[in-house]
Chains A and B, each alone.
Chain A
């Protein structure tokens, strides 16, 4: 019985964090944000050399063939520096879809290119979680119609993974597609609106007639977003604690005042259990399949709630400086805010968790 990270997992954590701390300081995040860059290609190349984009891709297809827990550790590391680079959609959700439902040809065509960082994949599954603004996608004769909203990593994608109204999955090349980047509070992440207008779609054959592959993609995405949130919230807490040790008022560092100390302690007390939750949710994806979906929902929702509290409290510990662009804390505040809304807000995801447990009458557990 061991609940924790292995030596190899800790080494992975250190190597990714080490690379990011030198290659993705706040100035880099700021530059990218101001230039409207949501997929910094230099960063992407460096990460690909560490195996980040190929983390889930099998070794014989050019990846490093690691598991969801390793992927979650990477996602956490990216969240902790608010990295302006794609990962959750391209390196996790897309490979999960290809491995669950892709043909051999599709896997061979796309997985090595994803692992090398050469191909970026955006993910259009939001309509399967909730429809807004008349979005929704249908497929007829291999062509897609309709509009997808909040396509994650869509603005920088070469290919999109798309779910239609019945949960069937397709790949669509983005050349000639009508893609509009949507500006959000979080300038470190790319999301797009896509109007398909009869675009050619390449069916992932394993997804026809069932929603298992789609569900797996969404579960994986939710766990990764949860991990990203964990990293971002931990960074905000660490900054708040560091500031509380350094900022002096009334001839004392403010962290010696209980009012401030308790804010920090409450953040730590709320956030620390989230780490175990993310680890277990990622572990369960393959090791405890009966828990996987419930844990993915709870991890998404609980991390969103906890990080909302941390984001607000950590900002407050910094006083007025916390609100400034100069300090830059807002990049993490906004990343946490973005993560909360994407792939289902806490109430929506918790309701799904209730259905999974058959707590809601008159709805199918897989609805």
Chain B
């Protein structure tokens, strides 16, 4: 155990802090849905110049070109979060690494630079109405006709499809192959004729997700990443690079601290909520869970620094972290009592109605990105070595 940072990392942290002090105020205040605004693109450009976005993307593809260093990335995330400044992005955390690793040189030059600048935006066409947890059963098909793939079928839960320029999409190209071997990974413009996007309004009142319908959508033959029939492996290959992601313990700690503030500032019958021992105990119990996840996160990070696979401590993060966030939001709502149900532009609204929104969205995150039940299967099978459910023929 050595929680001190070496001199190199301490001075790196000081650099990040200095940057944030000088430029933090230029960051666009909140992430607006839809296409990145002009000021967002400018902010992204500044971040790339300083190495705080697209950090490990090679210079020739428009990135900063640093060697991967999980601790530096962690420090950047930590300092941006502490300063309340919005982080930049690497383009798309799945598409860009995929193209970088498995794309052709032409594909890299075409796709990566505008993606990291935020000028080419992406949506992910994976899930289908009949293929959720069992994604590899997907049936959207692409058939070769001359030099073009012709796509027919439907995707669902496509975040940001209504704003994206491009889609990376899993389609079935080899109908006779076993299900995992019949899939290919195509990329195409969302302006291609035959694509229809229908927003799905969620319980929060917003449409984050969409249904996307394909009718004879024609895509040039070479717009495939990897080979025919290898799409499943292309899609999975990039998952190994994913760090942090859903259930991030730093996010849970931030939100927990906000609830502490609510408990200290909001009153009921003139007394602080914090003075109610039942509410206080519930808060403390969440704090214990939050701290356990925080130190679990440090353990995971430590493995990444040594380029080791953390195993179980990592595999539980999505399951436990998303549940914790949901519970923290629920605690905030209960601390607010009747005020906790106010929404939209109601008078007396607290924190812009964020807690209700989070409570609902976090439930979505418990389901999305691999449901809690699929996470438990993974933990049971991969970490504990329990046998898979026998498959039906």
Are B313 and A1 closer than 8 Å at their CB atoms? no
Given A4-B1, A277-B295, A256 and B390 contact (CB-CB distance below 8 Å) = yes
Please tell me which stretch of A56-64, A191-199, A208-216, A346-354 contacts chain B, meaning at least 4 of its Cβ atoms lie within 8 angstroms of it: A346-354
Of A81-89, A169-177, A265-273, A322-330, the segment with at least 4 beta carbons within 8 Å of chain B is A265-273
Pair A276/B292 contact, Cβ less than 8 Å: yes
Are A350 and B281 touching (Cβ within 8 A)?
yes
> Is B3's CB under 8 angstroms from A287's CB?
yes
Residue with the highest number of chain B CB atoms closer than 10 Å, among A266, A273, A274, A277: A273
Which one of B274, B285, B390 contacts A350 once the chains associate, using CB atoms below 8 Å? B285
A288 at the interface (CB under 8 A from B): yes
Contact B387 A302 (CB under 8 A): no
Given A1-B4, A283-B3: A276 and B387 within 8 A (CB)? no
Closest Cβ of chain B to A276, distance in Å, is 4
**B324 — nearest CB in chain A belongs to which residue?**
A273
The B-contacting residues of A in range 114-160, CB under 8 angstroms, are none
B2 x A1 contact (CB < 8 A): yes
The answer on a CB contact under 8 Å between A351 and B384 is no
CB neighbours of A252 from chain B (8 A): 390
Determine if A360 and B280 form an interchain contact, defined as CB atoms under 8 angstroms apart. Answer: yes
Q: Which residues of B contact A295 (CB under 8 A)?
A: 291
CB closest chain-B residue, reference A251: B390
Say whether A272 contacts B296, CB under 8 Å. Answer: yes
B295 touches A276 (CB 8 A): yes
Interface residues on B, range: 35 or more
Which residues of chain A are within 8 angstroms of B333 by Cβ–Cβ distance?
Answer: none
- When C-beta atoms are compared, the residue in chain A nearest to B249 turns out to be A273
> How far does the alpha carbon of A276 sit from the alpha carbon of B383 in the complex, in Å?
17
A210 to B142 Cα, complex, angstroms: 77
- In the complex with contacts A1-B4, A1-B5, A265-B376, A351-B387 CB distance below 8 A: no
- Give chain A residues whose Cβ lies under 8 Å from the Cβ of B387: 245, 253, 255-256
Q: Is the CB of B284 within 8 A of A3?
A: no
Contact between chains at B291 and A272 (CB < 8 Å): no
Answer yes or no: A69 CB below 8 A from chain B CBs: yes
Q: How far is the CA of A206 from the CA of B183 in the complex (A)?
A: 73
- Which of B1, B263, B301, B312 meets A287, CB within 8 Å? B1
Most buried by B among A69, A252, A265, A298: A265
Question: Inside 8 A of A236's CB, which chain B residues have their CB?
Answer: none
Nearest B residue to A347, CB-CB: B281
**Does chain A have a CB within 8 A of B129?**
no
Q: Smallest CB–CB gap between A345 and chain B, Å?
A: 11
**Closest Cβ neighbor of A306 among chain B residues:** B292
Q: Select one of A5, A268, A361 contacting B275, CB under 8 A.
A: A361
* B280 near A4: Cβ-Cβ < 8 Å: no
Are B380 and A354 interface neighbours, CB within 8 A? no
Task: Answer whether residue B237 sits at the interface, using C-beta atoms and an 8 A cutoff.
Answer: no
| C-alpha gap A288/B3 in the complex (Å) | 10
Q: Report if B71 contacts A (CB, 8 A).
A: yes
Cβ B296 vs Cβ A245 within 8 A: no
Partner pick for A354 among B71, B284, B291, B292, CB 8 A cutoff:
B284
A365 to B19, CA, bound (A): 38
Chain A CB within 8 A of B319 CB: yes
Tell yes or no: A264 within 8 A of B by CB: yes
The yes or no answer to B298 lying at the interface (CB within 8 A) is yes
1/0 per residue B288-324: CB within 8 Å of A?
1101110110110111010000001100100110000
Beyond A3-B299, A347-B281, is A262–B380 a contact (Cβ under 8 Å)? yes
B377 interface residue per 8 A CB criterion: yes
Contact of A202 with B by CB under 8 A: no
Task: Please judge, given known A-B contacts A272-B313, A276-B295, whether A261 and B386 are in contact too, CB under 8 Å.
Answer: yes
Cβ-based interface call for A290 (8 A): no
B126-169 vs A: 1/0 string, CB under 8 Å? 00000000000000000000000000000000000000000000
Question: Which of chain B's residues 1-18 have a Cβ closer than 8 Å to chain A?
Answer: 1-6, 9
Interface membership of A280, Cβ < 8 A: yes
Q: Is B338 an interface residue (CB 8 A)?
A: no
Q: Which residue of A lies closest to B383 (CB)?
A: A268
State the CA gap A79–B251 with chains docked (Å). 33
Q: Tell me the B350-377 residues at the A interface (CB within 8 Å).
A: 373, 375-377
Give the CA-CA distance A89 to B272 in the complex, in Å.
40
Taking a contact as CB atoms under 8 Å apart, the answer to whether B388 and A298 are in contact is no
Bound-state CA distance A244–B380 (Å) is 11
Per the 8 Å Cβ criterion, residues 269-284 of B in contact with A are 272, 274-275, 277, 280-281, 283-284
A27 within 8 A of B: no
How far, in whole Å, are A335 and B161 apart by their CA atoms in the complex? 55
Is the C-beta of B389 less than 8 angstroms from some C-beta in chain A?
A: yes
Q: In the complex the two chains form, is B296's CB within 8 Å of A273's CB?
A: yes
Ranked nearest first, the 10 interchain pairs of A and B with the lowest CB-CB distance are A302-B288, A276-B295, A273-B292, A265-B376, A261-B380, A273-B296, A350-B284, A265-B379, A255-B386, A3-B298
A-B contact pairs, 24 of them (CB 8 A): A2-B305, A3-B3, A5-B1, A241-B385, A245-B385, A252-B390, A255-B386, A258-B373, A262-B373, A270-B320, A272-B312, A272-B316, A273-B295, A276-B292, A277-B291, A301-B285, A305-B285, A351-B277, A351-B280, A351-B284, A354-B284, A359-B274, A360-B280, A361-B274
**Which A residues fall within an 8 A CB radius of B?**
1-6, 69, 241, 244-245, 252-253, 255-258, 261-262, 264-266, 268-270, 272-277, 279-280, 283, 287-288, 295, 298, 301-302, 305, 346-347, 350-351, 353-354, 359-361
B interface residues, Cβ below 8 angstroms from A: 1-6, 9, 71, 260, 263-264, 272, 274-275, 277, 280-281, 283-285, 287-289, 291-293, 295-296, 298-299, 301-303, 305, 312-313, 316, 319-320, 373, 375-377, 379-381, 383-390
